[in-house]
Amino acid sequence: MKKLLIACISLVLAGCGVMPTPRIIVVTATVPPTALPTAVPTAAPLSTAPPRPTSLPPTETPVPLLLEDFEMELIVIEKVCFGSAGCNITVQPELFYGGPPLAPGDTYTLIYEVYGSEDGTLTFNLKITGEQYTVEDERISTAHQSDELTAAVVRILDR
C-alpha cells in the first residue's frame, strides 16, 4: 500500500492528468455494512485525483488549498424510515482531493455542510493531516423518505 501511495504521489508531482470538474454527489442507495470500515472514528487516505495545472515550481511552504480541490460523498451506513414521517440516516463522509500534493505534517480542518436534513443545513468538520483524514459517522433525520442528503466542503482552516 505504501509503494502504491508513493507511486500515486509521484504521478501527482509529475503533473499528469486533468482535474475533474468539482461536483456534489447525491447518495441514493444504501451501501451494505460489510463493505464499509468498522472503526469509528476512521482514518482514511485521501483519494487523490490528478493535480490542477500549475506553472509554479514545488516549494517547501504549504500550498493554499482551494474549495474546488475537494469533493465529498455521503456513504449511507444505516437508514431507518418511518412511513411518510421521514428517516433517521447514519452517514460517513468520504473525501476526494484533486489539488497539489499535501506535506505529511500539514494539518487542516475542513468545514462541510450537509443539505437535505429536516433541520435544514447542518455543519460538521473533519481534520486532514498529510494524506490522511479522520471522520466520524453522523446521524441525520429527514422529513420525508424521498429527501436526499448531499454534502459540500465550504471552508478550509489552516492548522
Kindly tell me if the per-residue pLDDT of 3 is higher than 50.
no
pLDDT in tens, 106-146: 899 999 999 999 999 999 999 999 889 988 999 999 999 99
Q: Name the residue with higher pLDDT: 141 or 65.
A: 141
Q: Are 51 and 98 in contact (CB under 8 A)?
A: yes
Q: Name the residue with higher pLDDT: 19 or 142.
A: 142
Q: Tell me the pLDDT of the chain averaged across its residues.
A: 73
pLDDT at 72: 95
Range in 41-55, 56-70, 89-103 the model is least confident about: 41-55
* Residue keyed to cell 498529510: 130
Span 66-72, average pLDDT:
94
Kindly tell me if the per-residue pLDDT of 20 is higher than 50.
no
C-alpha distances out from residue 113 to 6, 14, 93, Å: 32, 33, 11
Span 45-74, average pLDDT:
67
Span 140-159, average pLDDT:
92
pLDDT at 84: 80
